[in-house]
Every structure is written in structure tokens, then in C-alpha cells.
Amino acid sequence: MENPSLFMVEERVKTFKIWPFSDKNRCNIRNMAEAGFYSVATGEKDADAAKCFLCGKELDGWESTDDPWEEHKSHAARCAFVQLGKKHDDLLLPEYLSIVKQYMINDIKRMADLAKEAIAHKQEEVRRRCVGRK
């Protein structure tokens, strides 16, 4: 997660600057944020791009009638937030802590993947230098 404040629904709501659907639609900003999504839109072409604050699942192609919880569940059933199936305000402390724990696990995995990529890149640089010397 790029920003730990995205644990909070209100912080996720603030990310939706150019969301294409109104509050009258099922797929509105509040419902998106309550289902764990925040906006990752960079402009009009991807205005409906959203990502889960916990599992990192990114979805676009939303329709006004989509149910964000159902879409999240159908595309990321293993997401710890989806498995709880509760709005942020309804979470009990142990449930909230389980989300924090999963975030920490995901973040460690992400950092490990970045380190592996950096090592592989460096390894390739060294290999090229060695091959070039022959």
C-alpha cells in the first residue's frame, strides 16, 4: 500500500477526484471506498480505475449498476478485507487487527519482490559486463 492512511474509508473517498458515477448509482464513491477501493485514475481515460487498499487488486471497466463488494469478492475472493465482509465502521478490534496483520504480510512480500527484482537487474548487469570482457 502506498499510503497507510488508506485503511480509513474517508481517506479512500478523498482519492476519487474524477469518478464517472454519481451518488445515485450503485457504483458510487462511498460504496467503492467502503468495499476497500481507492482511485488510481490518472486522467479521463482511466477515470474508473480503482485498487483495493489491502490486497492490491486493481479493477476498471466499472458500470453504474455494479456492486463494489460483489465485484471485489468475485475478483479477489482471498482478500482478507473481502472475507470479513464488513464495512470499516462495523469491524471489531480483532478483525481490524487481522487486516493490519495481512497488510504487514503483503507489504513484506512486496518489499521482498522489489528486492528480488533489484538483485536480478544487478545480476544481469554483471553478467553483461562479464560476457563483454571475453
| Each residue's pLDDT tens digit, 65-108 | 999 999 999 999 999 999 998 887 888 999 989 888 888 888 89
Instruction: Report in angstroms the alpha-carbon separations of 78 from 16, 21, 45, 112.
Output: 25, 27, 29, 21
Mean pLDDT of the chain: 91
- For residue 132, pLDDT beyond 80: no
- For residue 114, pLDDT beyond 70: yes
Q: What is the pLDDT of residue 5?
A: 85
Please report the domains of the chain, with CATH numbers, ordered by start residue. Answer: 9-132 (1.10.1170.10)
Q: What is the mean pLDDT of residues 21-39?
A: 97
Question: DSSP label at 61?
Answer: -
Q: What is the pLDDT of residue 2?
A: 58
d(CA 40, CA 9): 15
d(CA 23, CA 20): 10
